[in-house]
């Protein structure tokens, strides 16, 4: 756990899923994803990830909607908030709503 300042980093699918396996205590990584984003500290250590994909509920899967399907962190303060904001901005920039 850390309170160090965080910055956003790109995260490949495999790395995001490995992070979820290591840190998420209730669920495995989701099967698919559109993109993932991470939060790292000043040393470059990955502290949290968010995986964004198609909505789990079929009736919400309209081609224009994404949802955060999984987050995981090592309990670093504000990491999930940083990632939710970044996921929304990225999805919006890609034309999703």
Q: Which residues contact 85 (CB under 8 A, 6 or more apart)?
A: none
* Average pLDDT estimate for 78-86: 96
Tens of pLDDT along 3-61?
Answer: 669 999 999 999 999 999 999 888 888 888 999 999 999 999 999 999 999 998 999 98
Give the pLDDT of residue 84: 97
Give the pLDDT of residue 35: 97
Domain covering 7-93 assigned CATH 3.40.640.10 in the classification:
no
The closest alpha carbon to 42, from 16, 72, 4, belongs to 4
User: How many Å apart are CA 74 and CA 60, to the nearest integer?
Assistant: 30
Give the pLDDT of residue 28: 83
- pLDDT band for 2, please (50, 70, 90 cuts): low
């Amino acid at each position: 756990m850390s309170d160090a300042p965080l910055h956003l980093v790109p995260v490949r699918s495999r790395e995001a899923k490995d992070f979820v396996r290591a840190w998420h205590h209730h669920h495995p990584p989701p099967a698919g994803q559109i993109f993932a984003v991470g939060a790292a500290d000043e040393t470059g250590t990955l502290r949290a990830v968010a995986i964004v994909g198609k909505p789990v509920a079929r009736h919400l899967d309209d081609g224009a909607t994404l949802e955060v399907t999984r987050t995981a962190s090592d309990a670093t303060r504000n990491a999930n908030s940083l990632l939710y904001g970044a996921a929304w901005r990225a999805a919006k920039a890609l034309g999703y709503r």
